[in-house]
Amino acid sequence: MSTDAFPALSLVPKSDVEMKAKDFKTDQEVRWCPGCGDYAILAAIQGFMPELGLKKENIVFVSGIGCSSRFPYYMDTYGMHSIHGRAPAIATGLATTRPDLSVWVVTGDGDALSIGGNHLIHALRRNMNLKILLFNNRIYGLTKGQYSPTSEQGKVTKSTPQGSLDYAFNPVSVALGAEATFVARTIDSDRKHMTEVLRAAAAHEGSALIEIYQNCNIFNDNAWEPLKENDVREDNLIRLQDGEPIIFGNNADKCVVRDSDGHLQVMNVADVDQADIIIFDAHAKDPGLAFGLSRLYNPRTLTNTPIGVFRDVTHREAYDRMAQQQVADVIDAQGPGDLQALLRGSDTWTVN
């Protein structure tokens, strides 16, 4: 695919040669547990990267701490495995100073939403030019199985033998609440869907939050099974398609409409007027519809779970572009700084 498909990456140098997935593989032994959903995500991203057409030395992966945060070691780009929760902050300094880089953050539900929650919401609020991949497996894996901020309430884990008391975060709702300009959700096992979402995220200028439902087969196996099993999958998944009526279900028999109070509601297609079915608009400036959709699912049964791009808007300029522009404007107007003049100042006296 032509690199012109990504005008958001216009400042990042293009590769002279065609890249392959194997160009993005390192010589490091991948050390996730056999069967971990991370393998599929790694393969999907390595497979997608050549499509960007960028010089790989201008791509950086920054991660925090957790199983998912091992990711940069396996990408043959520049990379940093940083500290718990801080990857968005570190990536912020990198992206702000280096508009010629494509900067990706890899994080997990604990890393992004618990210890690093503050950095996540502020990176999104500022519309920092970061593509944030949030691997959500609803459990702490690296510390061997404690509940996470996305675990369903009542979860019995090593640290909650009587069941967890916390109410769970909904990462898409959090991101929309922080006024993220791009929010999407995908699933580790659906490579085609994940690639579509990655493509849309890469084309977006500014921050992108991509929640990836990922299976931890050791500590929380089958957490997303209702969204994966062939028989029930399509009955639970709402595949968001921009500009299309929101219809889903094995037999395309369910849809989303507004009730008399304006709330979103799932109904049988047969029971509603066709004109009442909501047409999905990912580019709506108002995040209301996207937020409503993010609240539709049942976090325990996973019925009515939307996937795809919830929001993709352009009315907020990216932070790094504005920051670079401020500097350029001042230099344009006043000329570059003169160190001697600065040190001298205006209020001096001379001793002979």
Question: Cβ closer to other proteins: 251 or 348?
Answer: 348
Binders of other proteins among residues 275 to 334 (CB under 8 A) are: 323, 326-327, 330-331, 334
User: Which residues, in sequence order, are CB contacts of 100 under 8 Å at separation 6+?
Assistant: 11, 12, 13, 58
340 binds other proteins (CB under 8 A): yes
Q: For other proteins, which is the closer residue by CB, 68 or 92?
A: 92
Q: Considering only residues 38, 76, 109, 190, which one is a binding residue for other proteins as defined by CB under 8 A?
A: 76
For residue 274, how many other CB atoms are within 10 A of its CB? 9
Site for other proteins in 21-50 (CB under 8 A): 26, 28
Nearer CB in complex with other proteins: 68/186: 68
List of residues 6+ apart from 293 with CB closer than 8 A: 238, 240, 246, 256, 264, 280, 306, 310
Of residues 66, 72, 149, 206, which one binds other proteins by CB under 8 A?
72
Among residues 143, 159, 153, the alpha carbon closest in space to that of 108 is found at: 143
**Nearer to other proteins (CB atom), residue 126 or residue 185:** 126
Choice from 56, 191, 199, 316 touching other proteins (CB under 8 A):
56
Q: How would you class 23 by CB atoms within 10 Å of its CB: exposed for 0-12, middle for 13-18, buried for 19 or more? A: middle
Distance CA 202, CA 146 (A): 33
Q: Torsion angle of alpha carbons 64, 69, 72, 78, nearest 10°? A: 0
HSE of 329 in the Cβ direction (CA atoms, 13 Å)?
Answer: 6
- Closer residue to other proteins in complex, CB, 14/233: 14
What is the footprint of other proteins within residues 84-143 (CB under 8 A)?
86, 89-98, 100-101, 118-119, 122
Scanning 1-9, 171-179, 192-200, 338-346 for contacts with other proteins by CB under 8 A, the matching segment is 338-346
| DSSP-based three-state secondary structure for 279 | strand
> With CB under 8 A, what is the number of residues at the site for other proteins?
59
Q: Which of residues 279 and 322 has its CB atom nearest to other proteins in the complex?
A: 322
For residue 177, what are its two tokens?
A: 């609440």
* Residues near other proteins (CB under 8 A): 13, 26, 28, 55-60, 62, 65, 72-73, 75-83, 86, 89-98, 100-101, 118-119, 122, 323, 326-327, 330-331, 334-337, 339-340, 342-345, 347-352
